[in-house]
Each structure stands twice: as structure tokens, then as C-alpha cells.
Amino acid sequence: MVKELKKADAGRYTNADHVEFHEMMYEILDRYKEIINAPAMLSDYRDKLTQETKFYKWSRSSGFTEKKAKTDRERDRILKGITDLLYAYEKHCDPSLRSSARHVQRLIDNWHGLEHFGYDAETAAVDSILAILNGSDYIPDVQALHLESWLTELARLNTLFKSYAAATEQEQGGKPDISFKTARRETDSAFRLLSRRITAIIELDRPEESLPLISEYNVHVNHYNTLVRKRYGRLHVKIDIADGEIDPIEAQPYTGSEVFVIPSVRICREEKNGSVTVVKLVFGKDFTVGYKNNIAPGTATLIITGAGEYTGKIVTTFNIVEN
């Protein structure tokens, strides 16, 4: 007998799925309101959901809404890519690169959870981050970590997002008091309170009256979580570089210090139309490197690790020789 609630992965639902999920969930909970016995919580859930639904319908009426949402997703992807790259550099064998990565990461940590900010707040935060990283205190780090192209793309997306947001407001003559992201979070928060209430009822060992509620609740959650898994399985599968090719690495002269080599890495990538394209990966964006035994004469090991949209590793060797 099932006596626990499934966890809804609501944070990853599309806006349309999010509204639909909560509309249907409210209907389920309302049918069992006598068992839940929390009218204030249920009323608050309804109010927050009404607010979100109103915002959703408002946003859908704009011709710029989808463009704005797509640009925001791209902006979040770039921010995550920068964070992933910094994480990789923090494990680099070169202490100066580790130091630069930590310096930049500490700055970004000041806006922890940036991707969950409201549209306006995230836009302002990105402007602030870009202004600081383009300042004299951070330019050496940005250059050392090869972040220039990432920041250029982030600036482009932020400017594009602001233009779509302004066009939306002009087109519709104003907007609701809160952002859609905030409306979603408030709905989710009200829903979690009700879920905890139901969990408390289950823990009071009243399965005979709560079992139908638990069953409907879990079937509904499973359905939408499955949609998310299918969607992200299609859109967010990283490309494994394990079968990639690298150019032969020439013997490197012994210097008494660590020897660093940046390899040329290529992979064959299958396109949506079935064709195959040979792609040359970019160091710092698509992969990072690590080393073992790269000081003394002999055989050094080079570890190539996928980054950004790539994953997996390639391990190869090169020789260090005395003149």
C-alpha cells in the first residue's frame, strides 16, 4: 500500500505544463478537501494559481512572449556553461588558472540561484556581472580562462531580452505586478504547503481515508514528471567526446617545470537531418585538460575532459625529452 507522495519536478515544467499541472492538481485536492481539512491553504493555492494563470494568458497574448522566453532559456544556458567551465578550471593542474576560476566564481556566487530570479532581476544581475567582469580587476582572469566569447554572447542575449521585454510592454500597455517566474514560485510554494499537510495526514496512519487521494496525486505527478524526462532526454543529452580524435602531440622539451600542451580535438557529430559533421572543439569552451607526470623527462599523461555541451574523457600521452 502506497503511503507517500511522489515529488513533482515542477521547476522543470514548461510554462504551459506548469499551469496545466496545477489546475488539474487543484481539482484533485479540492475533491478531497474534507480529508485535507485546510481551507486557508487550499484557498491560498487557488489564489496563487489564479495569479499565475492570469499572467500566463497575458504573456501568451504578446507576439514577443515566445521570443523572450527562448532568449531567457539561452541566457540561462550560457550562465550554466560559464559556471560549468569555472568548476572545471577549479580542478586544473595550473594553480594560476585555479585561482582565476575561484576569483570569478566568488563574484557569480553573489547572485546565487540567478537562473531562478524574476526576469527583471536576472536582467539587472547579468548587467552587473558583465560590468564587473569587464573591469580591470577581472580582465586578466577572463582572458586566462577564455571567457571573452561567453561574455560577449551573454551580453548579446541580455540586450536582446531587454528589447523583447520593452516591445512586449509597449504592445500590451503594461504588465502584471510580478514576473512569471515569481508567480510560478508562489504557486509551487502554496502547493508544497498542501503536500506537507497531506504527508502529515499519512503519518497519522489514516491510510483508509487518504489512499484514494494519494493514488490520484501520485498518478498526476508521475504523468507530468514523465513528460519532463522525455523532453529533457531529447534536448539536453550531452555529446560524449570519448570517441573523438586528437592530432599527434610532438615531443616537448624538458624545462624543469610543468609542461602544458593544448591538443587539437575533433569529433564526428550527427546532425538532426542524419548527416555527419566533423567538429573541431574549442579549448576552454568544449573541453578542459589535466596532466600527470608532466615535469620530468619521460611519458606524460594528458586528460581531456568534455565541458559545456560535451561530456566524457580522452586520455593520451606525450613525451618530454631532454635536449
pTM summary value: 0.45
- Res. 274: pLDDT tops 60: no
Q: What is the pLDDT of residue 1?
A: 42
Strand pairing of 313-321 and 239-240? Answer: unpaired
- Res. 94: pLDDT tops 50: yes
Report how far apart, in Å, the C-alpha atoms of 156 and of each of 161, 187, 195, 202, 213 are: 9, 32, 41, 51, 48
Could you report the per-residue pLDDT of 226-254, keeping only the tens digit for each?
877 766 554 455 777 877 888 889 999 99
- Res. 142: pLDDT tops 90: yes
Output the CA torsion 216→218→223→224 (10° steps): 110
Q: CB count, 10 Å around CB of 113?
A: 6
Q: What is the pLDDT of residue 236?
A: 52
Percentage of the chain beyond pLDDT 70 is 87
Give the confidence band of 43 by pLDDT, cuts at 50, 70, 90.
very high
- Res. 203: pLDDT tops 50: yes
Percentage of the chain beyond pLDDT 90 is 42
Region 89-101: what's the mean pLDDT?
90
Mean pLDDT, the chain, integer: 85
Q: What is the pLDDT of residue 179?
A: 72
Contact 298, 320 (CB under 8 A): yes
Q: What is the pLDDT of residue 2?
A: 46
Region 266-287: what's the mean pLDDT?
76
